[in-house]
Chain A
Amino acid sequence: EAGVAQSPRYKIIEKRQSVAFWCNPISGHATLYWYQQILGQGPKLLIQFQNNGVVDDSQLPKDRFSAERLKGVDSTLKIQPAKLEDSAVYLCASGPQGFTGANVLTFGAGSRLTVL
């Protein structure tokens, strides 16, 4: 089974520029998550989708971050304008319908963003 695909793997931009990350989850997985991970820390949930609907975006900085999951498959996460503190790895994960702990998340390798 193919894993969760993310691109780009690395991105360097200057502050106030914009950036977009793409995620292709495991085929058939209904739930999709975007996490932000600062170096050496645990991932922080940004947004959770169930199919193409948003379940939780309470920790998404909506003044600069946006995410969509059209057709309930691929997802994009956009940052505009970027700030220095946005430097992090952005992890995408997917899980089967109705994640309850008996089913587990599969993570992509992440997209590392450096804001200069």
Chain B
Amino acid sequence: TQLLEQSPQFLSIQEGENLTVYCNSSSVFSSLQWYRQEPGEGPVLLVTVVTGGEVKKLKRLTFQFGDARKDSSLHITAAQTGDTGLYLCAGEGYGGATNKLIFGTGTLLAVQP
């Protein structure tokens, strides 16, 4: 069974601070996605990383895929209140003809004004 553990589970910070969320597994994934979910809504894709060691930037968000494709991190610079939400990593496993997406345990971020 492929598992993705995220840390920290909860994070409360002040606006303007930096933060990093980690996503770790003992399994290798063909790709890894990061989603953000707001209350009452479904997860919305932020980024997909495919190559080991890959780094992608999305404005103040920086995503990195580990060299061994077992882990990933999300770094937010100068957090804003609009960044508040549940951050989910999701790994694409090897499920035969159609790969399945396994979600991490989630990191709940609260950015205080």
Contacts and interface: CB of A to CB of B under 8 A. Distances in A.
Nearest to A30: B98
Contacts of B45: 104-105
Contacts of A48: 95, 98, 100
22 contacts: A41-B106, A42-B4, A42-B88, A42-B90, A42-B103, A42-B104, A42-B105, A55-B97, A56-B100, A91-B42, A99-B101, A100-B30, A100-B92, A100-B99, A101-B30, A101-B92, A105-B101, A107-B43, A107-B44, A109-B40, A109-B41, A110-B42
Nearest to A104: B45
Interface residues of A, number: 27
Q: State which size class the interface on B falls in.
A: 20 to 34
Interface in A33-50: 33, 35, 40-45, 48, 50
Contacts, number: 76
B86 interface: yes
Contacts of B95: 48, 55-56
B43 A104 contact: no
Interface of B: 4, 6, 30-31, 33, 40-45, 48, 50, 86, 88, 90, 92, 95-106, 108
Majority secondary structure of chain A interface residues (helix, strand, loop or mixed): loop
A16 B49 CA distance: 43
A50 B92 CA distance: 16
A44 B101 CA distance: 10
Contacts of B6: 42
B42 A99 contact: no
Contact of A55 (B30, B88, B100, B108): B100
B101 A107 contact: no
Contacts of A50: 97-98
Interface in A12-27: none
A40 B106 contact: yes
Contact of B86 (A31, A40, A101, A107): A40
Contacts of B88: 42-43
Interface string A88-103: 0001010000111110
A56 B4 CA distance: 19
